[in-house]
Structure 1
Amino acid sequence: MDPRSEVVIRQQDYLNGQVLLINAPNDQLAKNLPSQVQASVWTWSYADHQSFQSAGINSHFSVEFPQASFDQVVIFVPKSKELLNYILHVVVSQLTLGQSVFLVGEKKGGVERAAKQLLQYGKAFKIDSARHCQFWHMKIEKTEIHKPLDHWLKNYIVQVNQQQLEICALPGVFSQDHLDVGTAVLLPYLSQVKSGKIADFGCGAGIISAYLAKLNPNQHIFALDVDAFALRSTEFTFQKNDLNLAQLHLQPVTGFVDAPKDLDAIVSNPPFHQGIHTNYDASEELCQLAKKHLKSSGELWIVANRFLNYPPLIEQSFGQCLVKADQQGFKVLYACANRVS
């Protein structure tokens, strides 16, 4: 069990009634709480959501607070300070004065910093420190009127050749307030991508998806991400740029295995972080499985840090891997399926 969950169990006597576990780790915590606790989970990770549901745990996959009544919430500290600000806001706008909010997180994950964010809504007390984690308690002394989701967007302009896009990103989404270097290296090559049915794996704020849609209004873009905030950000980006939402197919995925088949192209700045930890599983799975999801002449386009050893994985599957660019510490990698139909 995750050490943060172990700390919650150590202090389970504080919990009672309908308890919402927010951003909970993918484990059996909800099943291991005492009988006086009826636990539900609010997660924006589709992989975790699927796992919770399979385990018979009541799970809500959304960017919004679940439509239900709760007596208490336990917030597992997210990586993003801005995302925690959003979560705290929606919590205090949905609960009432005097209700309990608990905060748990790893010391190396910034739990002490996060605990200071509680202070805008009430006094916070540390009630446990164990397993390199801390557990905090706050009773709500100040509530807020709920602000709509678009209040939390950050917007910035991306210029590529003659095309301009305004990017909209919600808290916690990769590269929320600026264009990351890897995507900047990849974007000029998107005009070479085969048109048709295209998957953008790890769509983030929708920069790649929107740019592909702007280049060709006949594209069908499948924006794939495990994160509900990323999928919603991509939708906001399309709306902001007056792009045709009929071109956009938003699809939550547990990994690349859930991607559509018979694609003309796969384009990705693949993710390699999971919370505060580095995790290459999703991007390595993409390199290994991509060919099975492409048409016989389909293409794979990836941008990745120069130090990541993706070319051999791609070569094992495709038989070849071309380096289209090597700039600013990033490589643009290309492979063509060339399967005999």
Structure 2
Amino acid sequence: MDPRSEVVIRQHEYLSGRVLLINAPTDDLLSNLEKDITPCIWTWNYNELQYFQSQQANVHFGVDLPADDFDQAIIFVPKSKELLNYILHNVVSRLNVGASVFLVGEKKAGVERAAKQLLPFGPACKLDSARHCQMWQMTVEKTVVAKKLDDWAQQYTVPTPNGDLNICALPGVFSQNRLDIGTAVLLPYLSQVTAGKIADFGCGSGVISAYLAKLNPKNRIFAMDVDAFALASTQMTFEKNNLAPEQLEITAVTGIEDAPLFLHAIVSNPPFHQGIQTDYNASESLCKTSRRHLKSGGELWIVANRFLNYPLLIEQNFGQCTTKADQQGFKVLFANTQKKSKEQ
């Protein structure tokens, strides 16, 4: 069991009634809670949604809180400080004065720093410190009015050959405040991508999706991500730039296996983090299995840190891999499926 869950179980006497568990580990915590506790899970990670559904848990997926009322909340510290602010603000807006909000996290994940973010809403005290984790309790002293989702988005501008794009990025989304270097290296090559049905795997705030849509109004973009905040950001970016709604299809995915078939191209700045942990599974699967989602002559475009072994993985599965660019620590990689003499 996750050590954070063990700390929660050790402090079970503080828990009662309807308890909202936010960003909870995928372990056996729910089955170890006392019978008088009615748990509800809030997650924005699609993989975690699948897990909790398999456990027959009461789970809600999205950027907003569940509609059901709750008496207490346990927040498992997210990686992003801005995301924790968003969570706290929305949780407190739904609780009465005197209610408890608990914060649980690993010391190496910055739980002590995160605990300071509790203080604007009420006094906080440390309940436990064990297994390299801490659990804090905050008693709500004053409630707040929830802000609109749009108010939480950071915005920045990205130039394209067809004019500037205004990017909207919600808390916790990759590169929330500015264009990341990898995507910046990739963008000049997007004009070479075959037009048609294009998947943006790991769409983040929608930079690649919106760029491709603006380049060619005939492009149909499948924006895919595991993170509900990324999907909502991409939607906001399209709306902010008045891009045609019919150009965009947003899909929560567990990995590239959920992508449509017969795509003209897959374009990606692939993710390699799961929470605070480095996790290359999704991006390595992209290199190994994306070919089956492409039509004959379909293209794969990836930007990645130059130290990663993606060129070898792509070459093993496509037969070839071309490095289009190697700059600022990143490589733009290209491969395509071999065209048949006659399209079926």
TM-score (norm: length of structure 2): 0.98
2:16 equivalent to 1:3: no
Aligned residue for 1:335? 335
Q: Distance in 1 between matches of 2:160 and 2:219?
A: 18
Aligned residue for 2:151? 151
**Secondary structure of the corresponding residue to residue 143 of structure 2:** coil
Deviations 1:135-157 (A, max 9, x none): 00011001101111001010001
Aligned residue for 1:241? 241
Aligned residue for 2:291? 291
**CA displacement at 1:162 relative to structure 2:** 4.9
Kindly provide the amino acid, as one letter, of the partner of residue 160 in structure 1. T
Q: Distance in 1 between matches of 2:269 and 2:219?
A: 19
Kindly provide the amino acid, as one letter, of the partner of residue 226 in structure 1. V
Aligned residue for 1:99? 99
2:218 equivalent to 1:218: yes
**CA displacement at 1:161 relative to structure 2:** 4.1
Aligned residue for 1:34? 34
Aligned residue for 1:191? 191
2:134 equivalent to 1:134: yes
Q: Distance in 2 between matches of 1:164 and 1:75?
A: 38
Is the 8 Å Cα contact of residues 225 and 231 (structure 1) preserved in structure 2? yes
Gaps of 5+ in 1: none
**Secondary structure of the corresponding residue to residue 208 of structure 2:** helix
Aligned residue for 1:22? 22
Q: Distance in 2 between matches of 1:87 and 1:62?
A: 12
Kindly provide the amino acid, as one letter, of the partner of residue 295 in structure 2. K
**CA displacement at 1:160 relative to structure 2:** 3.4
**Secondary structure of the corresponding residue to residue 95 of structure 1:** coil
Kindly provide the amino acid, as one letter, of the partner of residue 72 in structure 1. Q
**CA displacement at 1:166 relative to structure 2:** 0.6
Kindly provide the amino acid, as one letter, of the partner of residue 237 in structure 1. T
Deviations 1:239-279 (A, max 9, x none): 11110111100000011111111111000000001111111
Q: Distance in 1 between matches of 2:307 and 2:43?
A: 32
Q: Distance in 1 between matches of 2:148 and 2:253?
A: 26
Is the 8 Å Cα contact of residues 30 and 40 (structure 1) preserved in structure 2? no
Is the 8 Å Cα contact of residues 220 and 247 (structure 1) preserved in structure 2? yes
Aligned residue for 2:52? 52
Gaps of 5+ in 2: none
Kindly provide the amino acid, as one letter, of the partner of residue 98 in structure 1. G
Deviations 1:27-76 (A, max 9, x none): 22122211011111000000000110011111100100110110110000
Aligned residue for 1:320? 320
**Secondary structure of the corresponding residue to residue 159 of structure 2:** strand
**Secondary structure of the corresponding residue to residue 163 of structure 1:** coil
Instruction: Give the % identical residues.
Output: 67
**Secondary structure of the corresponding residue to residue 120 of structure 1:** helix
Alignment of 1:110-125 (within 5 A): 110-125=110-125
